[in-house]
Every structure is written in structure tokens, then in C-alpha cells.
Structure 1
């Protein structure tokens, strides 16, 4: 409890930033006049998080988590400051603003990868699994509060300040987390010989980046049969194929393949991938729908996300306490998967005539599903491995969720752009193509300035394109409860009268390090 506020502040950094930026994105796109690369602002961040997560987890296991955790906070803060400066006169003006913002978001994502995985691993170091549910439930509650506050703060900043403060606001929070953790966090030191699997990390990162570029550029920037896409396919196949034998021979593999011999760990990794794919990929488009189609201000679009975040927070706290009390967890990912799929289906029904209150009901259902899933997946992953592998297990589970988010954001971004171009062309003919690429002005003010003859058709095209994204998300969400049904319920370590896990791949429980 002494260090928990510092860990929460660090995690709030990553969660708050995502939600603030999501609300400010329509205004950013409008200033830089680049709707075609709208999704890349999110993709770059998630991609940076994805490729760095396994490295952060492994380095934390080897060298100790405290300094690694503090370092990730510093990198995140540097990335935040640079994002706020993107497109400023100091860095060359708005002409290259979107390119700069995408690059700095990738740097910010590198730091965010260390924030999420090491915070969870530190909790794993200090708290046995049976008690971990309520602590992770508390952290999930704070994360949900950040997700609630994020759109409100982002909306206020966008409406009343400059959008750049959506990034600068991270700096005081980051300094507070650094100061608290530097003084209060004391973890046991373990002297071991270290060897980082840099080759494995390079192969994995290259393969993942190639796959994300394929889903982003295929059929959009380049034809599917173009040399660029085929070259990326070849690069992904070669690097990921080489990754397997490299990991088998590595003394300290960046992602130990032996973890996947455990059925629960494999299932929960797949569930995390699908959760990230559907959730991060689709939710990214909610502020765009609310502001551009429904005409909400940035602040009001933040308020309209409250039902989702509030539902997720309440359910996360309930699930954490229930798991601590009963030691049972299998039912929660099943229920969460069903709730998430139902929420995505409801959101796919939205159109130009959908009132804001109805959208609120739909996203509340989605929030209920998220609340059952967010922390339960991490708890199951950590309970599936030995204590010495907590860091790499946490990073691997986070990695699969992040890579799902990377693919989801890039794929759904491509779906949105293609669908919008097709819809506008169908309604306006050749002029529709000009509308799709004429600057990306999708703010409420810009919508109000469209000619009266054009505005209804443009809004209808935008609504249909966004609802199409949620239709795609359903296909991935429905697989979550099907996979969760095959999870084997293994007793959580640290419960009353339990000295360790029983059942599949059981090992004696490791002693829990004390907080100095």
C-alpha cells in the first residue's frame, strides 16, 4: 500500500494519455489536414508499446524492476514533451506536423510498454496471487478512473486550450510518480549473470512491424499484390520463422516458448490478442463519431464516454474482490467476452439518427464486458508460471494485447479509409474522391461549414464507415468467450491453507518478497 499510489500514477500516465489523445484527435487531424493518416497517431503509440513490452519485462527480470521502471517513466515523459511540440515553429512548422507526431508517439509508446508491464510485475513480486485479485482490481479501478478523466480532460483542453496540452499534462503526473517511487519503492536485489536476447528481440520486432505495415498499407497505400506488400510479407515470414529456433537456443530468451506449453497461458495470450484487437481498434473511432457525426464538442464527447468507463471501473472492482474471496476466475473472461461482443454489435447499429443517449447505453454494455476482462487476463497469465518468470509472463501477456491493438488500429483504420472513399464516391461520383482527400477536416466546426447539399451525404458516409469498423470488431470479439470456455481453473497461490498451485504444471509457491 506504500508504493501502490506510485504504481497507479505511472499506469495512469499511459491510460490517461490514450484517452486524452483520442478526444483531441479530430482537432489534431483538422489542424494538420491529414485524415488519411488519422489512425497512425494511435498505431505508432501501440506499435512502440508492442515491440518494447517483451524487452521491458525481460530486462526487469534480469536487472531489477525499480530502475527499469523509473527509466520507462522518463522515456514516456520525453516522448510526451516532443509530441506536444510536433508541428510547432520550433520544429519546422505544421507542414511536417503529422509525421513528427507519429514518430514522437512511437517514442512515447516505447516508454508506455515499460509502465504497464513492470507495474503489474511489481505487484506480482509483492502480493501472492490469491490476494493479487483485489490489488489488481484496485489498479483497474484507478485505470478506469483515468479512462473517465481522460476524455473529460482531453475535451476541456481541446475546447479551451491548445491540443498540445493533451501531451504536456503528462509531465507533472510523471514527475510525481518518479519522486514517490524513487523514495518509497524497495525491492529485493538478486545478483545474477545477465544476457539479453537482442537477436530474438530484433527478429520479433521486425516481424511485428512488417505485419502491422501490411495491415495498414495493403489495399490502401499499395495494392495487395504490389512489390512493397509482397516484400513485407516475405520479411515477416522470414523473421518470425527464424525467431522460433533463436528462442529455443537463447540462454535468456526474450519470450520463453516453454510458457506456451501451459494451456491456460496460451489461451489467455490469444484472448488478450483478440481483446486488444477489438477494443483498441474500435474504440479509437468513438470520439470521431460523436464529434463529427453527432456534433458533440470535444468536452461533451468525453462526457459521452463516461458510461463505458464507469461500467468498466465498477465491474473491475467487483471482480477483483470476488476473485480474492472465492479463488475462482474462469467465469469472468467468458462473461466479459459475451459482453464485449454484444457491445460491439450494438455500436455497429449506430447511424446519423442515433441519439447520444442511445450511444451511451451501447458503450456502457461494452464497458461491462471490458471490466470482466481487463485484469482477469493478467491474473490468469501470472498464475500460470513460476514466480521467477512473473516479469516475462506479464510482458508476454501485455505484448499479445498490445499487438492485437496494433493490428486492430491499423486494420480498422484501413477499413475506415477504404469504406469512406467508397461511400463518398458512390454518393458524389468523382467529387467524392476529392471530399475524401481534401484535407481531413472532420471537426464539428468543419462539418457545419460544408455546403447544405453535401453535408447530409458526407455525414451518412462517415457514419456508415465507422459502423463498418464495429462490424469487423464483432468477428474478433465473439471468439473471446469461446476460448475462455477452455480455461482450466487452477487454484490461486497464496489462498488460505494453500501452499501452491495444484493441477496443471504445478510448482511450489515461491516466497513472497517483503516490502522494505
Structure 2
């Protein structure tokens, strides 16, 4: 019962909230777009640095690994130290790493700098949500979370488009994919330093669980490295799989044990075991796959399966961005007005499943109108469910556990998206290989040397082979979205079991509710 907690829980005026929110949304946009802007530029980057195919993958994976693995750590630190100081440190890490990436002279150097950049991006993504939750009561937070969802949507889909435009502009070049966010990050740093006023919670004898954090980071990293290479560099059933998966399981089991005995765990198991956080985490896996997988594989579908340029492919993904933008904004306001969150998450998860089911029917000749309609539906589903799942969890925990709870949901969403993208990518590669071999055999062409569909240079191929390869990619894409639809059904089932929750009006829980397992005061009888 510490008096110094009052400033953090104190209400903020509308002007104070909007001033701080402008800097928070800007820094979130920068963090999100930095993870997507390089996707279209990667072929040119790897070519300029004389990199290999495995290094191509690791430029993306390195940042994703550190972003995912460090998310719960930053969330826990936000519960122990000044949120404002942490977000300023995160911006500093991001700025230095972005500058270094832009001047990288080799692919290994770029991979190392991207790993550091991932630390900053992961910190900013979670700390923005934690700071907003510390300033605004859950009932009022819905409309602001709508803004968050809109920013994430624009960055996720707009990043590849911006990357294509930069690489297509001769007087800029690929290095500006890393330089471009720097001035905006500096502006956000100044704005937040002047406007953000979130007092830190000073609790006696606080500590950071460094052992648990290290075990979680290494265990997750080993698991994600395995997902990255399995099916390509080695078989699913192999000694490499046994060694990596076995090591990851041992490390994560040790991490769970450590989290049960330390006083200040990085991932508080008593929070994760509660009904609302557990179900929200499960549902977040499906949303993560939608957010990451949709952008990755739809862009590839348009470029390879349909023959459009990177810039044109970015423009063709606008329906999904528009769906997230509109639905997250509208549903956020409706959540704040009604105080109910489950109906919007449930409708969003069902719509998401229907969108994936519609996209599962696409092939290399499907009308772009139908493809755009499917993307729009997926976007609406993501927008209604993504941020509202975080809001549902935040509503059930006291202020002192806000960072850890938010970090856990974001962590598992990123982990699910990472694993989902890797698995779907492996399925796509295998399916493409089968389709290419079958298509070339049908055309009477020797398929030797063309088994690895992922490394084909489409532009250098003669027209008969090029047509077969494009058809193979176009037809295989529908198969992975069918798998996504099946996984999204799991998210629907998880949301069905969420209790009806009415959002509270206060920033912090009342003491009796905080002591309970699932904030009984927040539950609403059906």
C-alpha cells in the first residue's frame, strides 16, 4: 500500500492524453514499419552485400527473434522502473541500431545490427501499450486502442509498399529503408520527453528475474531457429530437430520452474494461469498468424504468382489495411461506449476465419476483386480482435502487473505469428515444388534443377517455365490460407469461453479485486 503509486494512477486530462498519445503512436508506427519495410528490399540488399540465401532469411529472423524473446522482459521492467525512462532508452537503442544497419558493409554485420534493432522494436511495441494502459482507464481505452490497431495496420501493410518505392527510386537506394525512420524517431523522442508524464511506481526491494529472462530468451530463440530451418536445411525427423527441440523444451521447463520460485518473475504464472489471460493468449496466436502471415504471403502471391512489381503488390494489399484501419477504430469506440469487449472479439475472430476461408480458394487466375474482398474481410477480423484481446487482459489485472500481463499477450502473439509464418512458409515451399515438377512434366519439360521453388529467378526464365512457376505459386497460396482458416477456428473456440467482462472505469483495480484470481468485480453475469 504505497502512496507513491497514486501519481501513476491519477487521471489525465484530455489534452494531456492526446499530447502524449501523438508521440506514442508515432513511435509505435516507426517500430512496426521498421520490421516490414525491408521485406520488399531484401533481394536488392542481399545482392548488394553478396549474401547467401540463408543470410537472406536471417536478416528478417534476427530482428524477429530478439523482438519476440525480449517482449516479456520489457513488460516486466515496465512494472518495476520508470516507464518514461524505459521508452526513451528503447528509442535510443532503435536509433543507434537503425543508423548502424544503414551503414552495414556485409550481411553478417547487417544481421547483427538487425538483432539489436529488434530489441528496440520489441520494447517500443510493448511499452507503448503499457504506457497507454497506465494513463487511461480500460473503459475509455477502447477508442485509443482503436488508434493503436490502425497504426499497426498501416505500418504492417504500408511497410512493404514504402520499401518498394524506396528501392525503386534510384537516388535513394535500399539503405534509406533504415535511415528513413531515424528523423521521425528523434521527433517522437522530443515529443514524449516533453509531454509524457507517467510517474514510476517505487516499491521496496524490487528485483529483476535475470535468470528467468535469460532462460526464456534462449529457449524461445532456439525454438525459433529450429522453426526457421526445419524442412529446408534438415528434416522434421532428424538429430538436429531432436537436439534443438529437446534443448528448447529443457530451457523453457527450467524457466517455468524459475518463475515459480523467484519473487519478481518476468512472466507471472499466476496471471497467465487465469482464465481471461490464458484464453486471450490462445486467441492471440491466430491473430498473430493473420497479422504476419497475411502481409508476407499475400505480397509474395501478388509478386510471384501474379507477376506484379513490389510497388504494385503493396498497393494491392490496401484492402486488408483499410479493413483493419476502419474496424479497429470503429470497434474501439463501440467498446468504450458499451463497456463490453467479448462480443467484438468474438465477431472479429469469426470474421477472420471467414476471410481466411475465402482466401483459401484463390489461385493464379482468381479475380483481383475477389482476392481484395477476402483481404478486406481478414483485415476487419484482425482490427476487431487484435487490440481488444490485450484490453480484455489489462482489465483483469492490477496496475502493478499491467506490464507483465500486456507483455505476455504480445509475446505469445508474436511467437505464434513467427512460428505460423515459418510453418506456412515450409508448407508453401513444398507445395510449390510439387506443383512445379508436375506442371513441367505435363508440359514435357525436364524439371532438373528446379526442385527448390523458393530460389527461382522468375525474370530470367523462358516464358513456358515462367508460366508454370507463376501458376505453381498462385495455386499453392490458397492451400496455406486453408490451414490458416483451420488455426483461426481455434481462436474462435478460445474466445467463446471468455467470460463476459465489463470494462472498469478506474486505472487500477480495487484491492479486493486485485487479490482475486480473475477480478470478480469485472465479471458480468450473463
Q: Above 0.5 in TM-score?
A: yes
Matching residue of 2:28: 11
Matched residue count? 495
Determine which of 126, 134, 143 is the counterpart of 1:125.
134
Matching residue of 1:407: 419
- Quick check: 1:324 aligned with 2:336? yes
Taking the aligned partners of 1:197 and 1:242, their CA distance within structure 2 comes to 13
Taking the aligned partners of 2:95 and 2:284, their CA distance within structure 1 comes to 27
- Quick check: 1:505 aligned with 2:514? no
Partner secondary structure for residue 19 of structure 2: coil
Matching residue of 1:205: 217
- Quick check: 1:80 aligned with 2:102? no
Matching residue of 1:416: 428
Deviation readout 1:364-390 (Å, 9 max, x if unpaired): 111111111121011011012111111
Taking the aligned partners of 2:153 and 2:281, their CA distance within structure 1 comes to 22
Indicate if the aligned counterparts of 2:46 and 2:52 stay in contact, CA closer than 8 A: yes
- Quick check: 1:281 aligned with 2:293? yes
More displaced stretch, 68-77 vs 264-273? 68-77
Offset of 1:158 from its aligned partner?
2.4
Matching residue of 2:163: 154
If asked which structure has higher relative contact order (CA below 8 Å, sep 6+), I would say 1
Going from structure 1 to structure 2, the CA distance change for 1:236 and 1:182 (only over 3 Å counts) comes to: same
| Equivalences for residues 187-266 of structure 1 within 5 A | 187-192=198-203, 193-266=205-278
Offset of 1:179 from its aligned partner?
1.3
Deviation readout 1:46-80 (Å, 9 max, x if unpaired): 22111000111111211111111111122222332
Deviation readout 1:358-413 (Å, 9 max, x if unpaired): 32222111111111112101101101211111111111111111111221122222
Determine which of 165, 168, 178 is the counterpart of 2:179.
168
Going from structure 1 to structure 2, the CA distance change for 1:144 and 1:216 (only over 3 Å counts) comes to: closer
Indicate if the aligned counterparts of 1:73 and 1:115 stay in contact, CA closer than 8 A: yes
Offset of 1:128 from its aligned partner?
0.7
Matching residue of 2:392: 380
Determine which of 71, 95, 105 is the counterpart of 2:114.
105
- Quick check: 1:463 aligned with 2:459? no
Partner secondary structure for residue 435 of structure 1: coil
Going from structure 1 to structure 2, the CA distance change for 1:40 and 1:362 (only over 3 Å counts) comes to: farther
Taking the aligned partners of 1:378 and 1:419, their CA distance within structure 2 comes to 35
Please give the TM-score of this superposition, normalised by the length of structure 1. 0.89
Gaps of 5+ in 1: 510-516
Deviation readout 1:451-493 (Å, 9 max, x if unpaired): 1221111112222333332232222111111110111122211
Gaps of 5+ in 2: 1-17
Matching residue of 2:144: 135
Offset of 1:37 from its aligned partner?
6.1
Offset of 1:35 from its aligned partner?
5.3
Please give the TM-score of this superposition, normalised by the length of structure 2. 0.87
- Quick check: 1:45 aligned with 2:63? yes
More displaced stretch, 187-196 vs 140-149? 140-149
